[in-house]
Structure 1
Amino acid sequence: MRKLELHTITFIEALENFTIRLQTQGASQFQVYNKPNSVKEFLHYLEQNDITSLNQINQKEVSEYFEYLKNRPLQTKDGTMSTAYLLKHREAVLRFIEFVMSQQNEIGHGQSGIQIRIDNTEKQPKEILLEDEVEILFNACDSSLLGIRDKAVLSLLYGCGLRRKEALELEISEIDLNKGRIHIDKSKTKHARDVPMSNRVQQNIEEYLFNVRNMMLDSTSNLTKVLITERGTEMSNSTLAKVMERLSEKVNIGKAVTCHLLRHSIATHLHRNMTIEDVAKFLGHTSLDSTMIYTHLKSEYYG
Structure 2
Amino acid sequence: MKKLEIHILPFIEALERFAIRLETQGASQSQVYIKANSVKEFLHYLEQKGITKLSQINQKRVDEYFEYLKNRPLETKNGTMSPAYLLKHRECVLRFIEFVLSQQQEIGHGQSGIQIRIDKSETAPKEILLENEVELLFDACGDNLLGIRDKAILSLLYGCGLRRKEALQLDISEIDLNKGRVHIDKSKTKHARDVPMSTKVQQNIEEYLFNVRNLMLDSNSDLTSFLITERGTQMNDGTLGKVIERLSKKINIGKVVTCHLLRHSIATHLHRYMIIEDVAKFLGHQSLDSTMIYTHLKNEYYG
Q: TM-score, normalised by structure 2?
A: 0.72
Counterparts of 2:147 and 2:57 in 1: how far apart (Å)?
62
Alignment check: 8 A CA contact 2:90 2:116 kept: no
Alignment root-mean-square deviation, CA? 4.1
Name the structure 2 match of 1:267. 267
CA distance in structure 1 between the partners assigned to 2:282 and 2:44 by the alignment: 35
Instruction: Tell me if structure 2 keeps the 8 A contact 1:6–1:43.
Output: no
- The one of 64, 68, 86 equivalent to 1:83 is 86
Q: Residue 249 of structure 2 aligns with which residue?
A: 249
**Can you list the C-alpha shifts for 1:19-76, whole angstroms capped at 9, x where unaligned?**
xxxxxxxxxx89xxxxxxx99x989977975789x999676x55423213445699xx
- Name the structure 2 match of 1:126: 126
Contact 2:182 2:194 in 1 (8 A): yes
Residues 143-162 of structure 1 aligned to structure 2 (within 5 Å):
143-162=143-162
Matched residue SS, 1:122: coil
Paired amino acid for 1:195: V
Q: 1:49 to 1:198 in 2, by over 3 A?
A: same
- C-alpha contact (below 8 Å) 1:193/1:284 kept by paired residues: yes
The residue aligned with 1:196 is 196
Q: What is the TM-score normalised by the length of structure 1?
A: 0.72
Aligned partner letter, 2:86 = T
What is aligned with 1:221?
A: 221
Q: CA separation of 1:201/1:3 partners in 2, compared to 1, >3 Å: closer, same or farther?
A: farther
Pairing 1:98-177 to 2, within 5 Å after superposition: 116-177=116-177
Matched with 1:282 is 282
Letter paired with 1:205: I
Whichever residue aligns with residue 145 of structure 1, its letter is L
| Counterpart residue type for residue 275 of structure 2 | T
Cα distance change on mapping 1:201 and 1:56 into 2, 3 Å: closer
Aligned pair in 2 of structure 1 residues 43, 223: CA closer, same or farther (>3 Å)?
closer
Kept after mapping to 1: 8 A contact 2:217/2:231:
yes
C-alpha separation in 1, matches of 2:8 and 2:56: 20
Q: Find the aligned partners of 1:240 and 1:133 in 2 and give their Cα distance.
A: 20
Quick one: distance in 1 between partners of 2:59 and 2:197?
45
Query: What CA distance in whole angstroms lies between the structure 1 residues aligned with 2:6 and 2:196?
Result: 42
CA drift at 1:276: 1.7
Match of 1:35 in 2: none
Matched to 1:118, the amino acid is: I
Question: 1:159-186: per-residue Cα shift (whole Å, max 9, x none)?
Answer: 0001111111110011111111111111
Question: In the aligned structure 1, how far is the partner of 2:90 from the partner of 2:269?
Answer: 24
Counterparts of 1:139 and 1:231 in 2: how far apart (Å)? 24
One-letter code aligned to 2:160: C
Provide the aligned length of Structure 1 versus Structure 2: 269
Contact (CA 8 Å) 2:174, 2:184: kept in 1 or not?
yes
Deviation at 1:83, TM superposition (A): 2.2
Structure 2 alignment gaps of length 5 or more: 11-24, 27-37, 99-109
SS at match of 2:222: coil
Contact kept in structure 2, 1:184 and 1:195, CA below 8 Å: yes
Give the letter for the 1:165 counterpart: K
Match of 1:64 in 2: 64
Structure 1 position 278, deviation (Å):
1.5
Cα distance in structure 2, aligned partners of 1:232 and 1:270: 34
**Aligned residue in 1 for 2:186:** 186
- The verdict on how the C-alpha distance between 1:5 and 1:163 changes in structure 2, with shifts beyond 3 A counting, is same
**Shift in CA distance, 66/144, structure 1 to aligned 2, threshold 3 Å:** same
Contact 1:87 1:289 in 2 (8 A): no
* Percent sequence identity over aligned pairs: 72
